[in-house]
Amino acid sequence: MRIVDLTVDDVDAVLRLFADDGGYSARVTGHAASRQDAVDALTERPPGTAPEAKRVLGLYDDADELVGLADVIRGWPDVGYAHVGLLQTSASRHRQGLGRALHAAVEELVATWPESATLRLAVVDINRDAAEPFWRALGYRATGESKPFESGNVRTVARIWARPIAR
């Protein structure tokens, strides 16, 4: 296994990963992942954030197949945070430690950002049965903050979870 920074040059590998998403895209956006979704995962960031604030880490297996990715935004929504926008592994490879390995790489990265004290993320209600046990096992807790979430024809709520950054 190896972790690398992903760029738009990796869009085809990301699209292959998204094809093995276990229904995540359909649950969260109402449609199967498209090439544009792969491009967005590599480039899209919150308003007001600089391009260099976004890092996308890819996890490749020994056969050189992308089996996971995580994107993290430095300093969003405020300077003391690092926001995990997406952490996804191949559904066909779930329960093999890939998500934990990818999260460990995120932790290692954000530990080098001295201004960041808290990792945060949003769990979308429509995906909570799949997501909450994983995040809870990694030490994240719901903050009580929530906001409406809309993507495609999906209308639900996104709930913020957070945990301190280990140093």
Q: CA nearest 87: which of 72, 77, 108, 109?
A: 72
Structural domain for 139, as ranges: 2-164
Residue 60 confidence (pLDDT)? 95
Per-residue pLDDT tens digits for 101-133: 999 999 999 999 999 999 999 999 988 888 899
Confidence band (pLDDT; 50, 70, 90) for 2?
very high
What's the helix, strand, coil split of the chain in %, to 5?
35, 35, 30
Confidence band (pLDDT; 50, 70, 90) for 144?
very high
Q: How crowded is the C-beta side of 113, counted as CA atoms within 13 Å?
A: 26
Residue 114 confidence (pLDDT)? 93
Confidence band (pLDDT; 50, 70, 90) for 94?
confident
Asked whether residue 162 carries a pLDDT value surpassing 90, the answer given is yes
* CATH number (domain holding residue 154): 3.40.630.30
Per-residue pLDDT tens digits for 3-41: 999 999 999 999 999 888 767 777 778 777 889 889 999
**What are the DSSP E strand ranges found in 23-153?**
54-60, 66-74, 81-89, 118-124, 141-151
Q: How many angstroms separate the first and last alpha carbons of the chain? A: 23
Residue 163 confidence (pLDDT)? 97
Residue 20 confidence (pLDDT)? 84
8 A C-beta contact, residue 1 and residue 60 = yes
β-pair partners for 56: 71
Instruction: Give how many domains the chain has, as a whole number.
Output: 1
Q: CA nearest 143: which of 88, 99, 83, 86?
A: 83
